[in-house]
Amino acid sequence: MNWKQQLKKNRIFYYLLHKIRNALQNRFIQKEQTFYERIANENGISGSVNISETFAQLKARLAQRGIVWPPVKSQRPIHILYASLPGNWELHNIPPELLKLGKVTCFFLKDHDISLDDGWPSVRKRVDDLLPQFISKTHSESPIDMMLSYLSGAQISYETIEKINEMGIPTFSFHLDDRRFFHGYKYGDQWSGPAAVCNAYDLNLTNSRASLIKYRCEGANALFWPEGANPDYFKPLEIPFEYDVTFCGQRYGQRPMLIGYLRRQGIKVDCFGKDWEHGYQSDESLVRIFNSSRINLGFGYVTESSDQCLKGRDFEVPSCGALYLTSNNDDLEQVYLIGTEIETYTSFADCADKIKALLANPEWCDTIRKNARKAVIERHSWALRVRQLLECSSRERI
């Protein structure tokens, strides 16, 4: 172990370092949020969540290009083009779920010899060159009804999205890091976050309600669109419990501080992931860990800040019919019945108390697990998320 690793293991040093990073990131996030709220106030832009109004704006925008939305049902299946890097988590989640809705064509950067090692300006240029050609050819052979992408300013240019729009294809893109990286970093002549390209997309999908105002101030349309899960992959397994409490994810921010606190309270917590004792786990292993844990611990914090957003684990763990205990976040109340489908904590002490109470009441834990699985099946699969777009479903509760 080198001196840097030794320092990171030092509890006092880690606490001080986290406090500094926490303060800097909190300041950055709040400064950007305040800036957009001021712009919104000066221009009469509403930050309220109104799904019906969002879909009305989407329909009006597409109508200007002669596109009727929602798509009119025809003899052929709906055709969705999905464009992304992708990350490992996507492969088990989104393409299989899209196939439940119709035909799916994927444009993955990794399949077109686009290397991230070449740097984001090079990646963006390659995507700008190849994606319109790929879509044009695909569209001529089998009409595309919508493009869903996980591409921001780092990977695609405004002009390329406009080219796709001009082909008569509605463009949707989801963004999962816009609380901190709405602008992101400058790579070449363009920012890496969604701010650089959001106005080109027909609809932007964010996992944070607080970020909606940013898109609207940039003249873009946006919808609160939480992550989901593939319930056929993240599913209950008939296996016995092996752990009382587990956490799966990287070691940073408040995570080691809370884990250390819980262990000092006599709670056994097993941790899996980079820089933890059990190390990296495959996605298949994660499903087994979720199922074999009496309680699965979650953190909703954005990197090292005190700000929070929804996470993929918020849906993958409940999808397994597993008990999920995560940090309290207002957006979670929009998607779950807290205390019935999942549990949340508000502080280190509250987390310890919740764990002890849950472990002492296995019958209630079983009820929460059943409710969690039911919630994902009925409300939180990726297929349902995309169907909401295809049908312009205006339910206020996701």
Domain boundaries, the chain: 46-228+382-391, 243-379
Q: Are 54 and 224 in contact (CB under 8 A)?
A: no
CATH 3.40.50.2000 fits 243-379, yes or no: yes
Q: What was the pLDDT predicted at 58?
A: 97
Q: What was the pLDDT predicted at 4?
A: 55
Give CA–CA dist 78/146, Å, rounded. Answer: 9
**The pLDDT of residue 190 is above 90:** yes
Alpha helices (H) in 44-157, listed in sequence order: 51-63, 88-98, 120-141
Q: Are 120 and 92 in contact (CB under 8 A)?
A: no
Which of 18-22, 191-195, 219-223 is the least confident region?
18-22
The mean pLDDT of the chain is 94
Classify residue 334 by burial, with Cβ atoms within 10 Å: 0-12, 13-18, 19+. Answer: middle
Q: What was the pLDDT predicted at 3?
A: 54
CA dihedral over 320, 325, 327, 330, signed as positive or negative: positive
Q: What is the pTM of this model?
A: 0.95
> How sure is the predictor about 14, in pLDDT bands with cuts at 50, 70 and 90?
confident
**Rounded to a whole number, what is the distance in angstroms from the first to the last CA of the chain?**
47
Q: What was the pLDDT predicted at 48?
A: 76
Q: In what order do the strands lie in the sheet with 203-206?
A: 102-108, 78-84, 146-149, 171-175, 203-206, 222-224
> How sure is the predictor about 324, in pLDDT bands with cuts at 50, 70 and 90?
very high
Residue 249: partners with Cβ closer than 8 Å, 6 or more residues away: 255, 272, 273, 299, 313
Burial 258-280 (b: 16+ CB within 10 A, else e): bbebbeeeebebbbbbeebeeee
Q: Are 113 and 177 in contact (CB under 8 A)?
A: no
Say whether 199 sits in a helix, a strand or coil.
Answer: coil
Same-fold call for 46-228+382-391 versus 243-379? yes
CB count within 10 Å of CB 8 equals 15
Domain 46-228+382-391: which CATH class? alpha beta
Give CA–CA dist 161/165, Å, rounded. Answer: 6
Mean pLDDT along residues 313-319: 98
Give CA–CA dist 312/376, Å, rounded. Answer: 12
| Amino acid found at 349 | A
Residue 106, token pair as written in the block: 């994927």
Q: What was the pLDDT predicted at 381?
A: 98
Nearest to 361 by CA among 335, 348, 373, 343: 343
